[in-house]
Structures are given as structure tokens and as C-alpha cells.
Amino acid sequence: MHTHPNARLTAVSRELLVCRHIRDAEPLADLAAQAWISLRTAYKWLALYRSGSRATLVDLRSGRRTQRRTLDPQQLQQAVDLPHQC
């Protein structure tokens, strides 16, 4: 699992936070303050957990899912002509 370098919590600690809220009925605001995260973020993780499972609490890839590999003919011609313009 790859954790974002600026993440306050890992997936395991996110799960612990959510479980403490659900199982022990601890207020989410208190848990968020203890973890030094915003209440909005805590609610986001709670919603993700309820919509899926513990697997939804891992960091998602932030980059593009796909990347264009080819240029269309017009873009290719512009790229070829570009160095010759002056």
C-alpha cells in the first residue's frame, strides 16, 4: 500500500477512527480533533467505509488513469511545423 506523503493517517488508522465512531459511539468531531484532521475529512472516510469496506480507506491514485499516446494528424503537423516558424 502506498500512503500519500502528506497524509495524516494511514488506512489502518482511518479504519480505527471509523470503527471507534461506529462501535463505541464516540463523537466524530472528537475523533477528528484527536487525529488532527478536519471533521469534513472524517465524514468523508465514514461515508467511504459505509459505501464499501475497509478497502475504500486506502489512498487512491491522484494521477490520470489514462494517457494519450498518439497525436491526431493536425496536431502532428503543428508539432512538425513548430521548429520551422520564426
**Residue numbers of the domain that contains 53:** 8-61
pLDDT of 3: 63
Predicted TM-score (pTM) of the model is 0.57
pLDDT tens figures, 28-65? 999 999 989 899 989 988 888 888 766 666 665 656 66
Flag whether 57 is in a domain: yes
Q: By the 8 A CB rule, do 39 and 17 touch?
A: no
pLDDT of 55: 66
Residue type, 56: T
Cell of 58: 486506502
Section 4-31 average pLDDT: 83
- Whether the per-residue pLDDT at 15 is higher than 90: the answer is no
Flag whether 18 is in a domain: yes
Flag whether 83 is in a domain: no
Identify the sign of the CA torsion 43, 46, 50, 55. Answer: positive
- Whether the per-residue pLDDT at 7 is higher than 80: the answer is no
User: CA-CA distance, 3 to 9, in Å (whole number)?
Assistant: 9
Give the count of domains, the chain.
Answer: 1
Q: By the 8 A CB rule, do 10 and 38 touch?
A: no
Flag whether 81 is in a domain: no
Flag whether 24 is in a domain: yes
Section 5-16 average pLDDT: 76
